[in-house]
């Protein structure tokens, strides 16, 4: 049983959505086909999708994208990204996801996979040109703490959508939680195209940070070595 991660699929398979992703580069051409070809997980494996799953605005538009994700081998754990406008209450989302046997949501909870606890939340922006929204930030801090407290194993990996640290900025509140809980590895998405140059990959205060946005990974989910915790 293996654990994989990839973020920012930005699917738009509904004929009601017109969101071409080639604004981020020609490598996004037919990226759903690339993703399908590069999918490594087997039926016994789990893949975390770190936000920005679909451009859908509602469940009707989301259905083709979830059908595509559900058709890929293994279980999928999805967390919220800043463009997941379809995201609503857990009650409604769980009812919708009941139609897809392999999809679950990471939101104020955690999942035990291969002896490690999968924890996380959306996080919040670290862009120095954008003012922090204190209310949203503290809500995300609380959700991260709730997820970590829910963990069944002391071996915990954190998955976020927003990067808690970049080459230009840090989200001190999120970093403090990671430090407090002794998190050794954190995977995040959100950065595409030219913005990838600003990603922080490496150790900071004892946590190893890695960007896992789809285009950064070449639309190939990253396998996580769960023995390295």
Residue 114 main-chain phi, psi, to 5 deg:
50, 40
Q: Name residue, tokens 């279980």.
A: 75
Task: Decide: residue 8, CB within 10 A, 0-12 exposed, 13-18 middle, 19+ buried.
Answer: buried
Domains of the chain (ranges; CATH) run: 3-228 (3.60.21.10)
Residue 213 has pLDDT above 90, yes or no: yes
Q: Which residues of 191-222 are buried (b: 16+ CB within 10 A; e: fewer)?
A: bbeebeeebbeeeeeebebbbbbbbbbebebb
| Secondary structure tally for the chain: helices H, strands E | 5, 11
Q: Which of 83, 81, 160, 87 is nearest to 119 (CA)?
A: 160
Looking at residue 85, what is its pLDDT? 96
Taking a C-beta distance cutoff of 8 angstroms, is the pair 124, 136 a contact?
yes
Taking a C-beta distance cutoff of 8 angstroms, is the pair 159, 185 a contact?
no
pLDDT of 90-130, one tens digit each? 999 999 999 999 999 999 999 999 899 999 999 997 666 66
- Alpha-carbon separation of residue 84 from 39, 54, 156, 161 (angstroms): 22, 6, 25, 11
pLDDT of 19-71, one tens digit each? 777 777 788 888 899 999 999 999 999 999 999 999 999 999 999 999 999 99
Q: Average pLDDT, stretch 178-199?
A: 95
Looking at residue 200, what is its pLDDT? 97
Tokens found for residue 83: 């463009």
pLDDT of 78-89, one tens digit each? 999 999 999 999
Q: Which of 12, 38, 15, 64 is nearest to 222 (CA)?
A: 38
* pTM of full prediction above 0.85: yes
């Amino acid at each position: 049983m293996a654990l994989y991660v990839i973020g920012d699929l930005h699917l738009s398979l509904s004929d009601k959505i017109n969101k071409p992703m080639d604004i981020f580069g020609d490598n996004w051409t037919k990226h759903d086909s690339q993703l399908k070809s590069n999918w490594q997980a087997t039926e016994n494996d789990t893949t975390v999708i770190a936000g920005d799953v679909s451009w859908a605005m509602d469940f009707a538009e989301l259905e083709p994208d979830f059908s595509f994700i559900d058709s890929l081998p293994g279980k999928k754990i999805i967390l919220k990204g800043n463009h997941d406008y379809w995201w609503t209450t857990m009650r409604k989302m769980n009812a919708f996801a009941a139609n897809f046997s392999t999809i679950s949501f990471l939101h104020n909870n955690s999942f035990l996979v291969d002896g490690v606890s999968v924890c996380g939340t959306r996080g919040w922006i670290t862009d120095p040109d954008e003012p922090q929204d204190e209310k949203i930030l503290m809500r995300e801090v609380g959700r991260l703490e709730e997820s970590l407290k829910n963990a069944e194993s002391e071996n915990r990996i954190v998955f976020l959508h927003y990067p808690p640290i970049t080459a230009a900025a840090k989200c001190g509140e999120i970093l403090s939680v990671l430090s407090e809980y002794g998190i050794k590895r954190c995977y995040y998405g959100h950065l595409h195209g030219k913005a990838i140059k600003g990603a922080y990959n490496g150790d900071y205060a004892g946590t190893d940070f890695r960007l896992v946005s789809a285009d950064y990974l070449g639309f190939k989910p990253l396998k996580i070595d769960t023995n390295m915790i």
